[in-house]
Copies of this chain bind each other. A is one copy, B any other.
Amino acid sequence: MKVLGLVGSGRKDGNTNTLVEKMLEGGRSKGLETKKVFLADLHIEPIGDCVACRRAGKCSKQDEFDSLMDEVLDSDCVIFGTPVYWYGPSAQMKAFIDRWVCRMHFDEEGFRAKMKGKKCVLAVPHQDEKLSGAKYLLGMMEQTFEFMDMALVGKIQTTAWRRREVSQDEVAQRHAFELGARLAEVEAIKEASGSVTFNFSKRLIER
């Protein structure tokens, strides 16, 4: 199984990267093949007016969307890592997702068939003290996955006020690792019929 981790933060060595990296480590501990991509390294344009593209019969944007999209399609599981910026995902992550429409315009059925059932995971660090600060981001992403019939395997969110805070938060890292390891154990989740959530705390004392 191939796991692709997307780091959607503008910062390459920050909290989002730590969460995604630990999750990929967890996957590798179970023998999964992993790859990490920093959206900050790619040039992906926002979606434009699709009329010209439709006339031309192909997307007119000259950027790295297609290669990233192909990597997503080629992966069994995709980790969407994004910080909470203004209660939503980063503009980089949003630009990538907005462009999915380019594929749908030219071959909706084919694109849907490839995305359907694809496993995905959310990794979301945020500066808000309260976990509820991520609710609109989570809602937006979950409904996107639901719309594409993707198989959301799980999600992790952590508060992290300071730069690199997660790199000192062993509890968060352990949970990210375990979520990554779990990817190997879940053969097929299809449509989720349930979910279980464990809240944790930096100040948590676990026996």
- Chain A residues in contact with chain B, CB under 8 A? 10-12, 14, 40, 46-51, 85-92, 94-95, 97-98, 100-101, 129-132, 135-137, 139-140, 142-144, 146-147, 151-159, 163, 169, 171-172, 175-176, 178-179, 182, 184-207
Contacts and interface: CB of A to CB of B under 8 A. Distances in A.
A23 B92 CA distance: 30
A132 to B, nearest CB: 7
Given A157-B195, A169-B194, A195-B197, 7 more contacts: A46-B92, A88-B89, A131-B192, A136-B139, A189-B201, A194-B199, A196-B197
Contacts of A49: 10-12, 14, 40
A177 B131 CA distance: 25
Contact of A88 (B88, B171, B184, B202): B88
A78 to B, nearest CB: 15
Contacts of A157: 194-195
A53 to B, nearest CB: 11
A22 B51 CA distance: 24
Contact of A97 (B86, B153, B154, B189): B86
Contact of A194 (B97, B132, B156, B189): B156
